[in-house]
Amino acid sequence: MPQAVTQRYARALAGAVERQGKYREVAEEVGSFARCYRESIELREVLESPAVLPQAKLRVLERVMALLELSPIVRNFLRVLQSHYRLHLISEIQDAFERVVDDRMGVVRVAVVSASPLPPEQQTALENRFVRLTQKAPAIEYRVDPNLLGGVRASIQSTVYDGTIRGALDRIRMQMETA
């Protein structure tokens, strides 16, 4: 159920932002509040406690939103979450919102792991390959894993493209075992 709820709120926020087209700005603001919420035990205790009156919770929420200088659309959204007792799902809603925004903007997130930093020409080649593969604009996050022997492993959502040496050796081993 939480995933269905988070998707519903994420789509509602995206729909509200659509006219303005400020998806990225809103995503940053929601992320800013989500970080604050995750990192502050006191804030969570106040906003989640049944012992604190709703008016007091709203005053605390208003103060935090003012300190973070959130836009009116994000403020309204957070008020709705608080009034429906869903503020504790803010991190999950943030993730769902970013996926909805990526989809609406034609962006696909790609995680690329390599044994050493990739030179710019290889990064450009990978980006072009992902454009052809997904027909979307890739937003690539590059990471280095010194435990890899060589090659590159890329993940797009739940699909993994393993071009590492270890991956090639594993495929050869599996072929030999089934032969």
- Number of residues in the chain: 179
- Over residues 169-174, the mean pLDDT reads 80
- The tokens 């939103």 sit on which residue? 65
Residues 22 and 89 occupy one common structural domain: yes
- Over residues 131-153, the mean pLDDT reads 88
Name the domain boundary from 103, 133, 163: 103
Residues 116 and 144 occupy one common structural domain: yes
Q: Which of these, 36, 87, 35, 38, lies nearest to 64 by C-alpha position? A: 36
Residues 75 and 124 occupy one common structural domain: no
Residues 66 and 22 occupy one common structural domain: yes
**112 three-class SS:** strand
How many CB atoms sit inside 10 A of residue 79's CB?
15
Number of compact structural domains in the chain: 2
Residues 77 and 117 occupy one common structural domain: no
Cβ distance 25 to 71 under 8 Å? Answer: yes
Half-sphere exposure of 153 (CA within 13 A, CB side): 20
Decide: pTM greater than 0.95: no
Give the per-residue pLDDT at 25: 94
Residues 99 and 113 occupy one common structural domain: no
Tens-place pLDDT, residues 59-81? 999 999 999 999 999 999 999 99
Give the per-residue pLDDT at 40: 94
Q: How far apart are CA 38 and CA 175, in angstroms?
A: 47
Q: Which of these, 24, 27, 22, 28, lies nearest to 10 by C-alpha position? A: 27
Average pLDDT of the chain? 90
Give the per-residue pLDDT at 1: 55
Give the per-residue pLDDT at 148: 82
More confident residue, 131 or 150: 131
Is residue 14 predicted with pLDDT exceeding 90?
yes
- Over residues 41-67, the mean pLDDT reads 94
Residues 15 and 56 occupy one common structural domain: yes
Residues 35 and 61 occupy one common structural domain: yes
**128 three-class SS:** helix
Q: What is the CATH number of the domain that holds 31?
A: 1.10.520.20
**Residues ≥6 apart with Cβ < 8 Å to 139:** 102, 107, 108, 109, 110
Give the per-residue pLDDT at 177: 85
Name the domain boundary from 103, 122, 143: 103
Q: How far apart are CA 116 and CA 120, in angstroms?
A: 13
Residues 112 and 80 occupy one common structural domain: no
Residue 123: domain span: 106-178
Residues 82 and 117 occupy one common structural domain: no
Residues 25 and 99 occupy one common structural domain: yes
